[in-house]
C-alpha cells in the first residue's frame, strides 16, 4: 500500500469576464439613466443625456422622481417656460443625485443642447446645475457638465475649467474638435464611435470589421495624439454599436457603455488584449502637433463632412428630446 502523499488539486481558476478584464485597464462608465443596470454592472462613473433621462423619467419605476420634483417646485412663483426650465434642471440633478448614490465616481449631466452655440448661456446653465449639486452636498469633483463640442461649447468649458467646474465635451467626431478641447484644458471628451460608423456605413454602403471601424480608428488617433503630446484631457469612447468596438479600444482612459453591451461583456470570457496604451502611443502617433485658433477650427471641421453632419444632427436630436422632456413636465404641471 503506497504511503505517498497526494497533493490536492489546485482549485480551478475562474476566468475573468471581458467586463472584469476591461475594468482592470479602462475606467468603465455606464451610459444609462437606469439605476438597476448600474447596480448590476458596478461601473466607476455614469453618463446621462436628455434622451436617456427622458426614457427613464417616463418609466413606472422612476416616475416618482419626476413627481417629487414637480411637487417640490410647483410653488416657486415661476410661470411658463421659466417654471419648466426650473423643473428640468432640478430633475436632471435629481437623477444625478440618485446615480451618485450608486457609482463611486462621477456623473455627467448635460446642458440644454439649444445652448450649443451660446458660450455665455452654457456657462450660466453649468453654474445653475453645479449650484444645485452643491446645495445637495455634492462636490463639483463628482460632476461633469456635458456640453456639445462646438467652438462656443469648448470656450465655455475652458472658462468653467478655470472655475473648477469640470466638463465632458460630447458630440465629438473629429480630431479638430479633440485638439481644440485639449488646448482648452477640458477635463474629458466623448468621441462618438458608433455614430461615426453609422455615417460611413451609410456613405460607403459597406460593413466594417471592428479593427477597421472608422469610429475606433478616430478614437485611437485622438488617444495616441493626446498621450504623445502630453495632454491631460481624458478620452472616453462613447456611442457604441457592438462589443467589438469596445474590445478594440480596451485600454482607453474611459469607455461609456450601454447596459446591453455591458451585459454582453459580462457574459463573455474571451481574451481581452490591451489595444491602447500610453507606453506605445508615441510610436503609434504619426501626426504633427498643431494649434487651432477659431477660424482654423471652423475650417477644419467644415472640411470634415462626417463630423459637420453628425455634430449638427446630434445637437438637433438632443434639442428635440429637451423639447419632449419639457412637454412631459408641462403636462404634469
pLDDT at 14: 65
Q: Are 58 and 325 in contact (CB under 8 A)?
A: no
C-alpha 163, offset from chain centre: 21
H-type helices in 137-258, by residue range?
151-162, 175-183, 193-204, 214-229, 243-247
Within the chain, which residues score under 70 in pLDDT? 1-14
Q: What is the DSSP letter of 238?
A: B
146 is catalytic: yes
pLDDT at 20: 98
Residues 150 and 36: their CA atoms lie apart, in Å, by 33
pLDDT at 58: 82
Burial of 233 (0-12, 13-18, 19+ CB in 10 A): buried
Catalytic residue among 27, 146, 227, 275: 146
Q: Are 191 and 219 in contact (CB under 8 A)?
A: yes
Name the pTM for this structure.
0.93
Amino acid at each position: 500500500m503506497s504511503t505517498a502523499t497526494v497533493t490536492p488539486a489546485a482549485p480551478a481558476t475562474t476566468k475573468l469576464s471581458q467586463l472584469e478584464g476591461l475594468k482592470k485597464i479602462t475606467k468603465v462608465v455606464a451610459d444609462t439613466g437606469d439605476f438597476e443596470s448600474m447596480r448590476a454592472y458596478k461601473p466607476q462613473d455614469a453618463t446621462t443625456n436628455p434622451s436617456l433621462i427622458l426614457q427613464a423619467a417616463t418609466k413606472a419605476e422612476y416616475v416618482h422622481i419626476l413627481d417629487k420634483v414637480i411637487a417640490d417646485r410647483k410653488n416657486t412663483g415661476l410661470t411658463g417656460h421659466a417654471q419648466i426650465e426650473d423643473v428640468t434642471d432640478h430633475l436632471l440633478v435629481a437623477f444625478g443625485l440618485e446615480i451618485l448614490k450608486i457609482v463611486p465616481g462621477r456623473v455627467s449631466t448635460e446642458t440644454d443642447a439649444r445652448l450649443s452655440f451660446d458660450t455665455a448661456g452654457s456657462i450660466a446653465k453649468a453654474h445653475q446645475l453645479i449650484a444645485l449639486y452643491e446645495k445637495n452636498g455634492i462636490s463639483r469633483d463628482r460632476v461633469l457638465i456635458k456640453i456639445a463640442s462646438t467652438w462656443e461649447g469648448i470656450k465655455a468649458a475652458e472658462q468653467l475649467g478655470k472655475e473648477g467646474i469640470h466638463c465632458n465635451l460630447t458630440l465629438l467626431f473629429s480630431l479638430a474638435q479633440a485638439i481644440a478641447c485639449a488646448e482648452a484644458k477640458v477635463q474629458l471628451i466623448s468621441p462618438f464611435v458608433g455614430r461615426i460608423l453609422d455615417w460611413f456605413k451609410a456613405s460607403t454602403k459597406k460593413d466594417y470589421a471592428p479593427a477597421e471601424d472608422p469610429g475606433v480608428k478616430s478614437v485611437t488617433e485622438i488617444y495616441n495624439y493626446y498621450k504623445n503630446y502630453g495632454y491631460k484631457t481624458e478620452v472616453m469612447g462613447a456611442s457604441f454599436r457592438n462589443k467589438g468596438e469596445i474590445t478594440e479600444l480596451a485600454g482607453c482612459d474611459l469607455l461609456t457603455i450601454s447596459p446591453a453591451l455591458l451585459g454582453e461583456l459580462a457574459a463573455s470570457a474571451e481574451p481581452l488584449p490591451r489595444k491602447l496604451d500610453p507606453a506605445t502611443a508615441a510610436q503609434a502617433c504619426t501626426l504633427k502637433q498643431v494649434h487651432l485658433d477659431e477660424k482654423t477650427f471652423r475650417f477644419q471641421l467644415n472640411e470634415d463632412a462626417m463630423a459637420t453632419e453628425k455634430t449638427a444632427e446630434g445637437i438637433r436630436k438632443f434639442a428635440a428630446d429637451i423639447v419632449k422632456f419639457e412637454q412631459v413636465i408641462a403636462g404634469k404641471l
